[in-house]
Structure formats: C-alpha cells, structure tokens
Amino acid sequence: MNKCLFVGNMTKDPELRFIPASGMAICKFSLALNDGYGEKKTVSYINCVAFGKTAEAVANYTGKGSKVAVEARVKTGSYDKQDGTKVYTTDFMVDKIEFLDSRKKDEDVFTPADFNPFEEADEDIPF
C-alpha cells in the first residue's frame, strides 16, 4: 500500500501549469509539516503534485501559508543534470486535498453584513 496523509501549511504560492498536448492542469506546491513541540519541534518540507480539477482548485483557493490536509502517494525518481551528476527526487502525488482555511490569505470575502436588500432606491420597486 502506498498512501500518505499530511496536514501542513503551504510554503509558497502553488505553481499551476497546463500540458500543451492535452490541456491537463498540473499544480506543484510544497508543504511544511510540523512535528513535536517546544524545543523538540521539527519541520519537514515535502513537494506535492496535483492534477486536473484538483490542481485548478489548489491554485484558485490556496496560497502561501494556507493550511491543507493531503492524501497522497509517494513517487520517487531520478534524472541526470547537465554536469553528469544524478539527482534523486521524492514527490507526493495528491489523490485528495481538503482546504482547512476558508480562502487565500489576501482575498476579500463577501459577507452577508456587506449587503442590505432594503437600501434599494424607491424608483426600482415595481409597485
């Protein structure tokens, strides 16, 4: 079984791209995961990748500092750099994500208190 569950905060704004041939969305983001407390607190950083509608939702509704819960599977790989050195990668492919914040940090939110339906002009009333 290859399943991981994380709750963490985004370290930067997610990066959304689209595959030219198919138009599928790909969103890359990293999470900071806290463990322990006080002087024994440690932070781990992981790289996550989401696809399709999930990728678009991550890009639209999260940002740096957003708290999310992620269900993912680990995928390892490697590639050779131009200088010939081998680089090993570990990414977490997102299967499900839950937004634990209500919105992006810098986004304005409409609240019902902002709207008063009784402030219409008298000439707009049809009777």
* Domain 4-124: which CATH number of 2.40.50.140, 1.10.1200.10, 3.40.50.300, 2.60.40.420: 2.40.50.140
Q: What are the sequence ranges of the domains in the chain?
A: 4-124
pLDDT exceeds cutoff 90 at 127 = no
Task: Look up the pTM and report it.
Answer: 0.75
Residue pLDDT, tens place only, 32-76: 999 988 899 999 999 999 999 999 999 999 999 999 999 999 999
Query: How sure is the predictor about 123, in pLDDT bands with cuts at 50, 70 and 90?
Result: low
Residue pLDDT, tens place only, 70-120: 999 999 999 999 999 999 999 999 999 999 986 555 555 444 555 555 555
Query: 28 to each of 9, 11, 22, 39, 56, how far by Cα in Å?
Result: 14, 11, 18, 31, 11
